[in-house]
Amino acid sequence: MEIIAIILFISIFILILYGYPVAFTLGGLSILYALCFLDSSAFSALPLRIMGVMTNYVLIAVPLFIYMGIMLERSGLAESLLETMAILFGQMRGGLAVSVVLVGALLAASTGIVGATVVTMGLISLPTMLKRGYKPELATGAIASAGTLGQIIPPSIVLVLLGSVLNRPVGDLFKAAFVPGFLLVLVYILYITINAFIRPKDAPAMPAEEVRAFKSKGFVMRMIRAFVMPLILIIAVLGSIFLGWATPTQAAGVGALGATLLTILQKRFNLTTLNTVMRETTHLTCMVFVILLGATTFSMVFREMGGDVYLADMVKNANLSPNMFLLLVMVVVFIAGFFIDFIEIIFIIVPVVAPIFQQMGVDLVWIGILLAINLQTSFLTPPFGFSLFYLKGVAPPEITTQHLYRGIVPFVIIQVLFLLLIAIFPDIAMGFVK
């Protein structure tokens, strides 16, 4: 029976790679295997499992954070931030790329929606960077990687889902991700700065006259408006969580309301905008929850067949240390990220390996942060890196797929090295939680 559970696991991967819908593959195939190999009494627990998911208070944060991100994208604040940052850093070599990374970090801390961030920065920044003589690979790499920061910098939907699967407080995951997220931003900026110093032609500075012309037209007021409003929202959401004033779900409600108010202040709010935001929120939320219900069915059948015990025994008999098992899991997740979506990885692989980590006495909050950083690379790695798809869709015609692939290589290497750093020095993440 345990071998059949492993065959089920492999079968699901094969069907997903063939292009079958993830949610229906997870749920449908699991039910077929259960009908063939399990007693009918095994199904009695399934309704309770499904209701447990649907009544999970923590998961209410998912649609609220999605709404918050999409509404902020409609508010026009991203454009204001990008223009302001470009003026502030434009006179330094690589300044436009640095401004893209900083704006990506701010948008990550206020929206967490990768698609919205990449598309916005691709539409506004990429033509400007190319016009200024930036090397296409550096420009596209900076935009694509900055857009993925929303996967690790809280509030992050990835961390909410990982908290649910790992059965750990989402607030602890947010706290643990705070320092690694912003350290990764600094590492990106360091790479861009060094690259611009070594190869000045790849990232030239903006002409001083142009920067002065921008600054002469009410620049201070524009800077205040561009920075203050998003910062207030970030402080309201993250501050309320870190200070213990609100749960992540309550803070998500504050964020959704704050994003709506900011859109009103920007004079971008109307019924058409509200209708579009609500439709997109419903679409993304339904996608996440249908996959989650399929994953819940798979998890129940896999455990009823003894697959989790079999894997745990395999690891025990192989005499793998916690560090070796961690390395194995991270390699599997990294490779899976080339072919399947981060949500699928969270709901297929993580529930299988989490009990084994728990048996080994490994801190699951730390594992959650390592997984989040690892899953961040899945947005950049070809052939199915969503960040690359989003950017290609809005890039000028002269930007080829080869430019995108070559551009993300240094940033993927940075992420892998950074993942190794957090694995070797856990206190970088866990110090803030303790």
Distances (CA, A) of 106 to 6, 102, 117, 235, 264: 42, 6, 10, 11, 20
The whole-number pLDDT of residue 384 equals 66
Rounded to two decimals, what is the model's pTM? 0.79
Mean pLDDT by 10 residues, the chain (434 residues): 81 78 81 83 77 78 82 75 72 81 79 69 79 85 86 82 86 88 91 88 74 65 73 80 80 86 86 89 83 80 78 75 88 82 80 86 90 87 74 81 87 91 88 68
Which residues does 404 contact at the CB level (< 8 Å), separation at least 6?
A: 140, 144, 388, 391, 392, 395
Tokens 């399947």 identify what position? 340
The whole-number pLDDT of residue 303 equals 78
Residues 93, 196: Cα–Cα separation, whole Å:
6
Cβ-based neighbour number of residue 54 at 10 Å: 12
Domain range for 180: 2-430
Residues 134, 111: Cα–Cα separation, whole Å:
27
Contact in structure between 431 and 422 (CB atoms under 8 Å): no
The whole-number pLDDT of residue 399 equals 83
Q: How many domains does the chain have?
A: 1
